Structure 1
Amino acid sequence: MKMVILITVLLFTAIGFIFSNLMTPAPGSSSGNGNPAILFVLLLPFILFYLIVFWRGIFRELSNKKKWIIVVAGSSYCASAAMYQRWSFVRYVDEMRKGYKEQFGYVDEEYIQDIAVFLSIHVNNQFFNFNTFIVFVVLSVVIGVLVPLRGVGKNNKGGGVI
């Protein structure tokens, strides 16, 4: 039953990431009436909390050595994925500049900087894509492994890595 709930939560989250990604307008085009992805962003902390609690229960029985392997591998992936996303974001802002120049004949740098912010609909595809979905799940696993379990483990000192 727990696995069914986990799969449902992960599917809901994946659909939210896909929907938010699809809301991105083409470079140089108008954004419409706000950013519907903000509604999904508001749910992410609750989803993250649920996943952390779930992973804590799953990884409770692992040895500390295996937990550290998960933490190091997961943290390494998250760090490299964050660097890739930053590089991708810079490339995408350049694409937006080119699209604006093709449409209007010049680049309004102030406008480009205004639309290249976190909650702008113009950059949804940079923050909600397959890579960031995987980072979200891996981050929840890493935190779930690191957060100690109260009252579980040897001498009730917690079963977490920290």
Structure 2
Amino acid sequence: MKFAKVKLFIVHILVLGTFLIVNQVTPSPGDTSGNGNPALLIIWILIPLLIFIVILWVHIFRMSSISTTFFIISIFGILVHLTVSIFYQKKELNEYREVIKIALIKREGVADAQYIQSITSGLDIHMNNQNFNINTYFMFVTFSILLAIIYTLWNTWKKRKNPELRIFYSLL
């Protein structure tokens, strides 16, 4: 189990590094961004890392004797954290749009609301610092824990429901 925790720590450092690198690719407010978002080439690595992190968490949960009650309380805590984090991100996005508006007014004398909306939505390069920051990193981590808890609970429930299939489920 100690080796799994070390691997988990290393993978979390890699994920944090990815978040910080993508965050730094954001152009300054009011600057033009060029052609596309080069960070899109980097962020795809987060999908297999998420899967690997969930597998490691599930392994750690299986080796520990954590009660179902603790898991259920943890799910509610994680859902509260994710909800608060989403509202915080929305607030930060609105403030960021204001910063861009002010920067455009200073540079060009006018700010087009439609342009600001278009560059601050989706995976535009201007959104890298909004989509990949410390808050969204912690959202990523808690989401991985949530997936691992749900999988562990589901697997436990299946084993209790069909005890004759324990050998099959132990292989998973």
The TM-score normalised by the length of structure 2 is 0.84
The amino acid of 2:136's aligned partner reads T
Sort the Cα spacing of 1:152 and 1:50 in 2 relative to 1 into closer, same or farther, 3 A: farther
Aligned twin of 1:132: 136
User: Which of the pair is proportionally richer in helix?
Assistant: 2
Cα-to-partner distance string for 1:78-112 (whole Å, 9 max, x where unaligned): 11101110111111111111111110001122221
Aligned twin of 1:120: 124
> Is this contact kept in 1: 2:33–2:125, CA < 8 A?
yes
Identity of counterpart residues, as a percentage? 30
> Is this contact kept in 1: 2:22–2:43, CA < 8 A?
no
> Is this contact kept in 1: 2:30–2:107, CA < 8 A?
yes
The amino acid of 1:12's aligned partner reads L
Residue 153 of structure 1, CA deviation? 5.0
Alignment of 1:8-157 (within 5 A): 8-60=10-62, 61-147=65-151, 148-149=154-155, 153-154=159-160, 155=163, 156=166
Residue 4 of structure 1, CA deviation? 2.5
Runs of 4+ residues deviating >3 angstroms: 150-154, 156-159
**2:103 partner SS:** helix
* Unmatched 5+ stretches in structure 2: none
**2:141 partner SS:** helix
Residue 44 of structure 1, CA deviation? 1.9
Alignment partners' CA distance in 2, 1:130 and 1:72? 22
The TM-score normalised by the length of structure 1 is 0.89
* Unmatched 5+ stretches in structure 1: none
